[in-house]
């Protein structure tokens, strides 16, 4: 009789292992397939959150912060929440970005996104005319500057004031972005704002929103005794500003100005590229700014050889001079191109990039920090003028009552007088020889 021997135990173990391995492969494949399906099946609202996370993950200037706050875990926990509407997505993104502790990296709802684009590229803006920032010491929402001719300026709100409440809601609860958003709105509508001064005085002002003409570049000719001085005021750096400045400088040159007063007071910034372009018009082959990105690389930006104006200058700055205008002021000071007069500047040394999201919204991301040509870090410190002016500021910059402009005129007049003497002295010596 023929007997079949049973398979040995090692072969049985092999079959068992093979079976288990096959099952595991199937499970892993199925899990990956299901996860892929889940990613593809994200709702539009959750996709908005994921897109915002990805943009910040790829661009934020300080990636070490991601490890500190467990950035990937924040994404995971956020996407696990119930997010069904665009507003819920915006709220989720706000909470997701909060651990970064950077008020300038923020979600921009459609209205805010459109308004920011308008202010960067257009010449009008609807609102109360306040440029806001976050105070480094108290984390309160602080007034960086007020726009000329705006409801805020007319109400006496000044740089350094704090926004305590908007329509009864605490700005601490709202945060910087939402405080700014609540202040904007259609022309003719009103908003109640509670303000506190640096001295602690609290007042309420009822502001009516309206269209504010930004007029980013303003110029005129001033006469000081025997000298003609040009006055150039830049209120913000929008896309059109470099070209407008070129035209203004050409106009002043045709009027044969001998000196220039550049007024950057209450210029809270705007497009950094525009501020750099204006510096390029006033400097010849000189460093303008150094930028430090997420890789720690410092890229020095240097001006071209040709300039639009190379005469003597005085630049006026104050507490409302911030961001792109600080880049310009710092480059002029460090290169000895212009004397700075006025007050300590605001101190915003971070650069944001504006990215588009779905639903006509956007996200502003801090992508770099900057240093002046001499390596000075402006963030939280600002720029100290060469000459501090302890004088009240005029209600209308550049007017006949503007004592700051008057001081700048007297400085330029004195400088030009000395220059004339130095030119005349060699001629006398030649005659004696």
Predicted local distance difference test score (pLDDT) of residue 198: 84
Q: What is the largest CA-CA distance in the chain?
A: 143
- Secondary structure (DSSP) of 192-234: EEEEE-TT--EEEEEEE-EEEE---EEEEEEEETTEEEEEEEE
CA 5 to chain centre: 83
For residue 19, give Cα distances in angstroms to 9, 13, 14, 22, 59. 15, 10, 9, 5, 47
User: Please, are residues 114 and 354 in contact by the beta-carbon 8 Å criterion?
Assistant: no
The residues that are catalytic are: 323, 334, 348
The ranges of the chain with pLDDT < 70 are 1-41, 118-126, 213-214, 224-225, 421-433
- Secondary structure (DSSP) of 25-46: HHHHHHHHHHHHHHHHT--HHH
The span from the CA of 149 to the CA of 185, in Å, is: 17
CA-based torsion, 143, 147, 149, 150: positive or negative: negative
pTM of the model: 0.77
Predicted local distance difference test score (pLDDT) of residue 423: 59
Predicted local distance difference test score (pLDDT) of residue 275: 95
Tell me the per-residue pLDDT of 228-276, one tens digit each, with 9 for 90 and over.
999 999 988 988 999 999 999 999 999 999 999 999 998 988 889 999 9
Predicted local distance difference test score (pLDDT) of residue 124: 46
Long-range contacts of 184-192 (CB under 8 A, 24+ apart): 184/111, 184/112, 184/115, 184/126, 184/127, 184/128, 184/209, 185/126, 185/127, 185/209, 186/126, 187/126, 187/211, 191/128, 191/166, 191/167, 192/165, 192/166, 192/167, 192/168
Residue whose C-alpha is closest to residue 371's, from 346, 349, 347: 349
The span from the CA of 324 to the CA of 274, in Å, is: 8
CA-based torsion, 237, 238, 240, 244: positive or negative: negative
């Amino acid at each position: 009789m023929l007997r079949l021997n049973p398979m040995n135990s090692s072969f049985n173990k092999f079959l068992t292992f093979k079976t288990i391995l096959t099952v595991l492969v199937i499970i892993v494949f199925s899990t990956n397939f299901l996860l892929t399906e889940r990613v593809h099946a994200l709702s539009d609202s959750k996709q908005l959150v994921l897109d915002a996370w990805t943009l910040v993950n790829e661009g934020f200037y300080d990636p070490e912060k991601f490890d500190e706050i467990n950035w990937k875990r924040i994404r995971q926990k956020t996407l696990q929440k119930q997010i069904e509407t665009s507003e819920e997505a915006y709220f989720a993104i706000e909470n997701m970005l909060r651990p970064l502790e950077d008020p300038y990296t923020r979600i921009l709802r459609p209205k805010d996104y459109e308004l920011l684009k308008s202010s960067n590229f257009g010449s009008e803006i609807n609102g109360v005319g306040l440029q806001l920032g976050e105070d480094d010491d108290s984390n309160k929402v602080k007034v960086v500057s007020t726009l000329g001719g705006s409801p805020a300026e007319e109400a006496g709100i000044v740089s350094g004031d704090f926004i305590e409440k908007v329509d009864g809601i605490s700005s601490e609860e709202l945060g910087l972005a939402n405080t700014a958003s609540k202040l904007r709105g259609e022309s003719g509508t009103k908003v109640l704002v509670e303000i506190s001064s640096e001295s602690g005085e609290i007042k309420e002002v009822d502001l009516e929103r309206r269209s504010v003409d930004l007029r980013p570049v303003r110029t005129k000719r001033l006469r000081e005794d025997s000298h003609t001085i040009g006055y150039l005021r830049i209120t913000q750096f929008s896309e059109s500003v470099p070209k407008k400045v070129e035209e203004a400088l050409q106009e002043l040159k045709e009027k044969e100005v001998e000196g220039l007063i550049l007024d950057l007071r209450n210029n809270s910034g705007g497009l950094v590229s525009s501020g750099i372009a204006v510096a390029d018009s006033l400097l010849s082959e000189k460093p303008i700014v150094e930028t430090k990105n997420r890789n720690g690389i410092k890229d020095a930006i240097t001006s071209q050889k040709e300039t639009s104006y190379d005469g003597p200058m005085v630049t006026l700055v104050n507490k409302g001079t911030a961001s792109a205008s600080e880049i310009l002021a710092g480059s002029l000071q460090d290169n000895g191109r212009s004397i700075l007069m006025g007050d300590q500047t605001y101190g915003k040394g971070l650069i944001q990039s504006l990215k588009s999201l779905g639903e006509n919204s956007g996200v502003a991301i801090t992508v770099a920090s900057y240093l002046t040509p001499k390596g000075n870090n402006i963030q939280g410190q600002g720029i100290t003028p060469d000459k501090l002016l302890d004088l009240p500021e005029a209600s209308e910059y550049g007017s006949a009552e503007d004592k700051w402009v008057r001081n700048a005129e007297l400085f330029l007049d004195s400088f030009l007088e000395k220059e004339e003497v130095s030119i005349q002295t060699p001629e006398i010596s030649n005659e004696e020889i």
